[in-house]
Structure 1
Amino acid sequence: MKPTALITGGSRGIGAATAILLAHKGYDICISYRERSAEASLVMEACNALGVKAIAVQADISREADVVQLFAEMDQQLGSLTALINNAGMLLTQTRVESMTAERINRILQTNVTGTLLCCREAIRRMSPRNGGSGGTIVNISSGAARSGSPDEYVDYAASKGAVDTLTIGLSKEVAGDGIRVNAVRPGFIATDMHADGGEPDRIARLTPRIPLARGGQPEEVASAIAWLLDEATYSTGAFIDVTGGL
């Protein structure tokens, strides 16, 4: 039976790179997207061209009903779930904490924390032997910001990723007996459109002097770490890989 991976936020950046890499490795692929249907279709087509089955499902993971429907679509079209990559996340325009509103903070937490937890819940319901599953692997995409705190820019985003780190540790212990491994990757300054979402498309160029490897990272480099945790790190759970160029 082919392995199957569900990648949230798979229409661009790290999610798209991960989908294509896992398709190369023989995984059937389900990606979710919130708005970018054209980009999601291109990723799906690239995966299908590699000889696997790939689907793209529109879902806003901040909404519980969307998460439930996303997993139901995967069940119907792809079958058993082998791996979940919790990649979907959001940030908003750079600002200091003194200027943040409750609406902004809750919007970020609803996606980055609540949405990630809901996806974990649905995956466990399918992977756990108690529910007829045979184990599986979850990789959460955290951020180097969880360690730096991202002062003057994204403290709220950083706090949400700190919660993802705590979730990874706790959940890894909770489901280890079910044959489910839970690990995380912390990307640093990676060349994706997310910097534009924060209002500074050229942010990496500004911050490159701080990076020991003296460059930003590529989505494919993060995807490689994710794939290693899925396929090779068979004795690792509750572990973190920093893909941050040495920061």
Structure 2
Amino acid sequence: MSLLPRKGLLEIVSPLLQCKRFRGKINLRKPRAPHFERAVYIALTKPYFISPKKGKLPEELCKGPGSTKKDEGDNPFQRIIAQELYKWFTSSRLVVFYHLNPMDSDDQFNAFAMFKKQGMYLRQYGKKTLDMAVRGTPYETVLDFYVSQNMLLFSPQPDIKKVLSITKKFPELILLAAILEGRFISKDELMQYSLIPNLQAAQANFVQTLNTASSLLVNHLNSHQTTLVSHLEERAKQLK
């Protein structure tokens, strides 16, 4: 016994096991029918739902364009927002409409801040809120092009040049139209209005024109007298 290797006596040999189902694989496509008792329990516990189409006529089952639209009811908070939006329309001398392309949140915040520094307010509302605000009012026309992601700019003062200069810095804001002094104008008309100087500059030019005309009139009236006096002085010098 002492001549036998010690390792051979202490070594444990574990057999190789492989699990295999009896009678092959499970047939998932055509399973075997359960026995009678199990079939009874399955039939008793089967869920039963009443079809929503039961008892309806074919014309009632026909889905029209607005059949899937749900009535959300009256939202008091949304009505308050709509009233506030209508006040923005009535109190602003300039309202600008933008189409909003995909825009980074940082750029959007910068746009809000830059307009805010100039005393202008950039706002975004949903189509339903805008409809509640302007339906039946003179501003109802804006609903025709407010169909996608849009933003509104409200300005108490019609400073068009500042609006256009800030808009150029954000290409995601596409200028569509505007309301200037209660009049709905297009983008091209807004560009033409931007070329017109403000009221202070126009008044200064008008005053300058009046002063120039009066100065010319005084010079023309005094020109003959001044010429006569200069000639008499020259003649007096000659006689001396």
- TM-score over 0.5 for the pair: no
The two structures have a TM-score, normalised by structure 1, of 0.20
The two structures have a TM-score, normalised by structure 2, of 0.21
Larger radius of gyration: 2
